[in-house]
Chains A and B, each alone.
Chain A
Amino acid sequence: MSHYSGNIDDFGMDTISLAGPLEAKLKAVREAGFTQIMLAARDLVGHPDGLDAAIAAVRGSGLRVTGFQVLRDFEGLSGHLHDYKVDIAKSMLEMCHALDCRLLLICSSTSVHATDDTRALVKDLRKLAMLAIPMNIRIAYEALSWGRVVNEFPQAWDIICEADMPNLGLGFDSFHMFATKTSLDELDMLDPDKIFLVQLADFMWTEIKSVEERIATARHFRVFPGEGVHSEALATLVTKLHRLGYRGDYSFEVFNDDYQQMPLPTVAQRAWRSALWLGEDVLRRSVPLPNQIRLKR
């Protein structure tokens, strides 16, 4: 545990930034000082001792699970493709529930088999949210910047509003927003209570010229906030979200091939430095009072 602990409990790491087995990731994240972690389905199903052992390891770590990812290419399909994806979604929900995790992340479809009819997308997202209600899981819908129909957060937001389900909200990823150069002003239309998760990441270049380059950057060359060239924009974004009233979690969604071959504590320390920068310097939070209770949303 770090001897210096700021008021940054709402920042967490994502297992995708770290190499190695689940237990080592949990340990590194905890020892860096974080209290929460974002998990991917393969963290669980790829565990050498199976799903139950993975769940036990997560519970034993004392870390809160920020969210569970990721359901892909779900909405807009029909017939047997739809039925197939509903089965996949149910399986994801069951794992999420077994973890006592309250949030499932779904990113907008890239499938060429999916329709662009908004009504169908709304219907499918309503159905997904409905499946999640008995399990007390919220669905965060994220606009992937290479999504086929929905690729910027205002489009995702429109669909979420139209679906109008209490447990369906926005998953917001700074990378995609910067990649598509969506205006920060668009944030003003969001209801902060319907932003279910904010994922933060930076990258090392200012221009992304093609969709292929965008995908490559997103999957291999992201860095922690403060390490790239969009520090100022990230600081503005986080400040703006805070002013808007967002009080949910911030998770570092950092896919980076170099971090995959560095010692886990080293990577976790970089993440911690990033959290301190955002919590202390950008948001200028006071140190928490002793025994402060953070109310659950």
Chain B
Amino acid sequence: MSTHLQTASTDRESILDAVNPLGLDGIEFIEYTTAKPQALGQVLEMMGFRPIARHRSREVLLYRQGGINVIVNAHIPAMPDGAAPTDKPVIAAVAVRVRDAAEAYRRALERGAWAVPSRVEVMELNIPAIHGVGKSRIYFVDRYDKFSIYDVDFVPIPTVDPHPPAVAGLHFFGIVQYIGNDRTEDWAEFYRELFGFTELPAEQRFGILPKGRILRSPCPPSSRFYLQLIEPEASVLDVEGDEGLQRIGLGTADVLQAVAELGKRGVEFVESRGVHTENRGALTKSWLGSVSFELVHDERG
């Protein structure tokens, strides 16, 4: 994940912020599915997350640090539906905060999104969702201010601090999406039409992995996040079946400090000819065959 200068450019960008059709206001949570929830839990704890609550009816745990919520879903659906958890954790859903979830959902469907049929148990929240890339979903959440969705569907784990502080000010920065050959324009249009994402010009990026195209969410600056669309390397002829959400980008004002603190917790970072830790960013090694995190320099937090 790459970034651009947050300073100086903030004022100039605010002109464009008028276009936020859904009242998008950041990421509420990111959901992994896995058949090995404890193994993924260990990884998350190493990254500074704490398990804080359990789902009322399913094998689902909520992890948190600072303002970042990560849900680990190991629930096996009663009927096979292709989304059953596998050993390799996958990013199965992104929940975005919007002004009005019902309205956002209705607007998305009207513009050609695919609805996800909801399967709620009694007294649980019906969170509207549409299909995203691959088998992933995009949820619309509008209850994040006065009370939260977790108050309804989750039971707090006793004696645990429900608001564990973030390591080195980590916060959601973005999501990296792998896409097929010649698919950049398609996905850029998808996110523009449904959510109001705009493209960053090619030169407006920093970071240690500047490939592909960066889309900026129309959120206010404090909750803004980015999507990075990456097509396969030219040497790869056909990986069209492999589109999906690949990793989470976490922002921090001080990448080196974050790397040092996470290092003490056992997190290792990639040091190779192409990728290495520096002020602008860092990439963790990959766990469980699929899980990695990217750190990105970002003055917020």
Q: Which of B185, B189, B240 contacts A136 (CB 8 A)?
A: B240
Task: Flag if B114 contacts A166 (CB, 8 Å).
Answer: no
Residue of B nearest to A131 (CB): B112
On chain B, the residues within 8 Å of A128 by CB distance are 112
Task: Flag if A90 contacts B114 (CB, 8 Å).
Answer: yes
Whether B206 is near chain A, meaning CB under 8 Å from some CB there, is no
Q: Closest Cβ of chain B: how far from A140's Cβ, in Å?
A: 15
Whether B190 is near chain A, meaning CB under 8 Å from some CB there, is yes
Taking A136-B243, A167-B186 as contacts, is the C-beta distance between A130 and B193 under 8 angstroms?
Answer: yes
Task: Flag if A166 contacts B186 (CB, 8 Å).
Answer: yes
CA distance A235 to B189 in the complex (A): 37
Q: Which of A107-158 contact B (CB under 8 A)?
A: 126-131, 133-134, 136
Q: Which of B182-231 contact A (CB under 8 A)?
A: 182-183, 185-190, 193-194
Whether B44 is near chain A, meaning CB under 8 Å from some CB there, is no
Binary interface profile of B, 231-255, with partner A (CB < 8 Å = 1, else 0)? 0000001101001000000000000
Task: Flag if A165 contacts B240 (CB, 8 Å).
Answer: no
On chain B, the residues within 8 Å of A126 by CB distance are 111-112, 193
Q: Closest Cβ of chain B: how far from A117's Cβ, in Å?
A: 17
Residue of A nearest to B184 (CB): A166
Task: Flag if B111 contacts A127 (CB, 8 Å).
Answer: yes
Task: Flag if A134 contacts B190 (CB, 8 Å).
Answer: yes
On chain A, the residues within 8 Å of B111 by CB distance are 126-127, 130
On chain B, the residues within 8 Å of A296 by CB distance are 181-182, 237-238
Whether A209 is near chain B, meaning CB under 8 Å from some CB there, is no
Residue of B nearest to A93 (CB): B114
Q: Which of B112, B181, B185, B240 contacts A166 (CB 8 A)?
A: B185
Whether A80 is near chain B, meaning CB under 8 Å from some CB there, is no
CA distance A127 to B107 in the complex (A): 11
CA distance A134 to B131 in the complex (A): 8
Task: Flag if B114 contacts A136 (CB, 8 Å).
Answer: no
Taking A136-B180, A136-B183, A297-B182 as contacts, is the C-beta distance between A131 and B114 under 8 angstroms?
Answer: yes
CA distance A136 to B112 in the complex (A): 14
On chain A, the residues within 8 Å of B189 by CB distance are 130, 133, 165-167
Whether B89 is near chain A, meaning CB under 8 Å from some CB there, is no
CA distance A129 to B192 in the complex (A): 14
Whether B133 is near chain A, meaning CB under 8 Å from some CB there, is yes
Task: Flag if B112 contacts A127 (CB, 8 Å).
Answer: yes
On chain A, the residues within 8 Å of B182 by CB distance are 296-297
Q: Which of B181, B186, B240 contacts A133 (CB 8 A)?
A: B186
Residue of B nearest to A125 (CB): B112
Q: Which of A66-119 contact B (CB under 8 A)?
A: 90
Q: Closest Cβ of chain A: how far from B102's Cβ, in Å?
A: 18
CA distance A249 to B228 in the complex (A): 32
CA distance A90 to B185 in the complex (A): 22
Q: Which of A134, A167, A296: most chain B Cβ within 10 A? A: A134
Q: Closest Cβ of chain A: how far from B184's Cβ, in Å?
A: 9
Whether B167 is near chain A, meaning CB under 8 Å from some CB there, is no
On chain B, the residues within 8 Å of A127 by CB distance are 110-112
Q: Which of B185, B187, B189, B240: most chain A Cβ within 10 A? A: B189
Q: Closest Cβ of chain B: how far from A119's Cβ, in Å?
A: 14
CA distance A131 to B194 in the complex (A): 11
Whether B113 is near chain A, meaning CB under 8 Å from some CB there, is yes
Task: Flag if B193 contacts A134 (CB, 8 Å).
Answer: no
Taking A90-B114, A126-B193, A127-B112 as contacts, is the C-beta distance between A133 and B238 under 8 angstroms?
Answer: no
CA distance A90 to B194 in the complex (A): 18
Q: Top 6 closest A-B pairs, CB basis?
A: A130-B112, A166-B185, A127-B112, A131-B112, A133-B186, A133-B190
- What are 22 A-B interface contacts by the 8 Å CB criterion? A126-B193, A127-B110, A127-B112, A129-B112, A130-B111, A130-B113, A130-B190, A130-B193, A131-B113, A131-B114, A133-B186, A133-B187, A133-B189, A133-B190, A134-B133, A134-B190, A136-B183, A136-B240, A136-B243, A166-B189, A167-B186, A296-B238
Q: Which residues of A contact B (CB under 8 A)?
A: 90, 126-131, 133-134, 136, 165-167, 296-297
Taking A127-B112, A130-B193, A166-B189 as given, write out 11 further A-B residue pairs in contact, using a Cβ cutoff of 8 Å, ordered by the A residue number: A90-B114, A128-B112, A131-B113, A133-B186, A133-B187, A133-B190, A134-B114, A134-B132, A134-B133, A136-B243, A166-B185
